Structure 1
Amino acid sequence: MTGMPVSVATAPTPVDPFATPVAAPSHFLHHLNPLTKIAAVVPAMVLLAFTRDLDTPLAFIALSYLLLLTGARLSRGVVALLFLAVPAGVALLTFGFSIWIDDTLVSDTPAVLRIGDWVLYEGALAIGLATALRLCAILALALIGGLTTNGPDLVRAAVQQLHVPYRVGYTALAAYRFVPRFGYELSVIRAAHRVRGAGGRWGGRGPIARLMRGWGYIVPLLASGIRHAERVALSMDARAFGAHPTRTERHLVPWRARDTVFLVALLTASAALFTLTWPWLAA
């Protein structure tokens, strides 16, 4: 019969379990070369380590948050990290650093808290806050690349742009992919132990029971890891890994014009912030 549509069965496209979701065009940070995001923030991170004021780290925290909120794909956990965990960490670090300050250095400032003979001075609190904000600013800059880059793309970019030997880069990539594999194997071992009623008297709840059950996972997890390592080694040998000085790249992570624009723009913004605040004026 002619003119009748013919259906052709096609095999389902295999899904890479290590692939990250495709980011929307508005999430521009995910589309940048990983090396761009590292090179753009490292100079500011290094200089922030030598600042002592409050304005400079606050400015870089605001800049980092602005980039993350406008250019990154943020989950609920990441939002909680940015707006709950980070402020709580700053408060904790501020108090922790302030109690280690020598009282003789800040005794001329007003007292904020008194507990018996112990006194917390305003100067100590200011030094602790400056230190905490400095660490927070460095962390916020690191999150620009850390939240928008995956390990495989970073390795591929290092091999392609920095000319890191592929024997080193892809060996690190293979090791990186062991992490989710171990998580899956651990879940299978736990399920098998529960089905077989393994654990004996340590089958209850509590930290001690969890610790004792964990000892029972070590041997099967090591055995599973060795088997997986052998399979990976055989697959790499079958593909002649290490036989030639270079290899053809399957996944390219190019350096585009937008990478250069982002790098220049962020370095310029960092220089402008340091110029406006000039944290070394007192020195």
Structure 2
Amino acid sequence: MSEQARLEPADAAAAASAPTTGPVVDPYAGPVTHSPVHFLYDLNPLAKIFAPLPAMVMLVFVRDVRTPLVFITLTAVVLLIGVRFTRGLVALLIGVPAFGAVIALGFALWTDAGLVDDTAPVVQLGGWTLYSGALETGLATGLRIAAIVVLAFIAGLSTTGPDLVRATVQQLRVPYRIGYTALAAFRFVPRFRHELDIIRQAHRVRGAHGGRGPFTAIARWAGYIVPLLAGAIRHAERVALAMDARAFGAHADRTERHLVPFRTRDTVFLVGFWVVSALVFWLFFPWGLS
């Protein structure tokens, strides 16, 4: 006889209704498995949001090259260790610096040459000259933007929307009426995708909006809008009736089934990231320069 069968009925009911802790699997998503080495998935979403936040704010006022470059390197190391190694992660880690390089070149070309004409020329094309000062200004701006974006990936690549909503309700005391309205909105997204696939298949079977070309594509998408909106209204009505039947919002507090606790490791990560960020600014930021 199994352990569950040996439980008394009252004990079995209590065990079934006991709050669960840790990361919650989204029922609309596939099974999530990851190695214990990927520690970012097990941290509280608020810890992953507030840990890089001071560094992101300070980087707005940084004008040198070394400080954002150090943050990009450190954050890339944290992401490579803390999250699963996927092609999407590689694309982001390569695409963001490439985007920063484009931004850097754009700001370098946009910088007024009269403000940096006392620096060494780098490129001369006829009467136009690209000075090293303009290139350094553009590079600093591009690296700063890239560093801020990469720091945002710490929470973005390892946090789900439902877990973030639960954390704000449980730790930040956001009213659960607001939080779980946002949670319901998260649930709408995969349902819309599923209903859109069904509508596409129905149109394909009936031969509606066949052919190619831009006008055919516009007509095809226009045919999707009405049934998709109708399905959204029906789903919203069912959700509202279900919430009303369960007396949702009738009480000031509610019992949480899925807990997203703020543990000691979350505090260690939060404080440790703040300390490392302060050391980076202290060691690499050129405090003596204006």
Q: Calculate the TM-score normalised by the size of structure 2.
A: 0.87
Mapped partners of 1:151, 1:19: distance in 2: 15
What corresponds to 1:5 in structure 2?
none
Report the residue type matching 1:232 in the other structure. V
Greater CA deviation, 246-255 or 185-194?
185-194
Greater CA deviation, 61-70 or 175-184?
175-184
Mapped partners of 1:38, 1:171: distance in 2: 21
Report the residue type matching 1:104 in the other structure. G
2:224 maps to 1:213: no
What corresponds to 1:71 in structure 2?
82
Report the residue type matching 2:131 in the other structure. Y
Report the residue type matching 1:58 in the other structure. L
Q: Note the C-alpha offset of 1:49.
A: 0.5
Mapped partners of 2:200, 2:244: distance in 1: 32
**Shift in alpha-carbon separation, 1:116–1:196, aligned structure 2, 3 A:** farther
What corresponds to 1:147 in structure 2?
157
Mapped partners of 1:251, 1:184: distance in 2: 25
2:138 maps to 1:131: no
What corresponds to 1:21 in structure 2?
32
Gapped runs of 5+ residues in structure 1? 1-13
Q: For 1:274, which of 275, 281, 287 is the aligned residue?
A: 281
Report the residue type matching 2:273 in the other structure. L
Mapped partners of 1:78, 1:254: distance in 2: 27
Q: Note the C-alpha offset of 1:177.
A: 1.5
Mapped partners of 1:109, 1:207: distance in 2: 51
Q: Note the C-alpha offset of 1:15.
A: 8.5
**Shift in alpha-carbon separation, 1:279–1:221, aligned structure 2, 3 A:** farther
2:179 maps to 1:156: no
After superposition, where does 1:120-269 map in structure 2 within 5 Å? 120-200=130-210, 203-204=211-212, 206-269=213-276
Report the residue type matching 2:44 in the other structure. N
Q: Note the C-alpha offset of 1:46.
A: 0.3
**Shift in alpha-carbon separation, 1:53–1:190, aligned structure 2, 3 A:** same
**Shift in alpha-carbon separation, 1:45–1:15, aligned structure 2, 3 A:** closer
Give the RMSD, CA atoms, in angstroms. Answer: 1.8
Q: Is the 2:108–2:138 contact (alpha carbons within 8 Å) kept by the matching residues of 1?
A: yes
2:78 maps to 1:32: no
Mapped partners of 1:174, 1:116: distance in 2: 61
Q: Is the 1:152–1:173 contact (alpha carbons within 8 Å) kept by the matching residues of 2?
A: yes
Q: Calculate the TM-score normalised by the size of structure 1.
A: 0.89
**Shift in alpha-carbon separation, 1:146–1:268, aligned structure 2, 3 A:** same
**Shift in alpha-carbon separation, 1:279–1:165, aligned structure 2, 3 A:** farther
Mapped partners of 1:80, 1:53: distance in 2: 26
**Shift in alpha-carbon separation, 1:15–1:123, aligned structure 2, 3 A:** closer
- What secondary structure does 1:99 align onto? helix
2:104 maps to 1:87: no
Q: Is the 1:51–1:279 contact (alpha carbons within 8 Å) kept by the matching residues of 2?
A: no
Report the residue type matching 1:195 in the other structure. V
What corresponds to 1:108 in structure 2?
118
Q: Note the C-alpha offset of 1:259.
A: 0.7
Q: Is the 2:96–2:150 contact (alpha carbons within 8 Å) kept by the matching residues of 1?
A: no
Mapped partners of 1:117, 1:207: distance in 2: 45
Mapped partners of 1:275, 1:20: distance in 2: 43
For 1:121-162, what per-residue CA distance to the aligned partner results, in whole angstroms no more than 9, with x for missing partners? 221111111001001111111100110000011110111011
Instruction: Give the percent of matched residue pairs that are identical in Structure 1 and Structure 2.
Output: 61
Mapped partners of 1:117, 1:241: distance in 2: 71
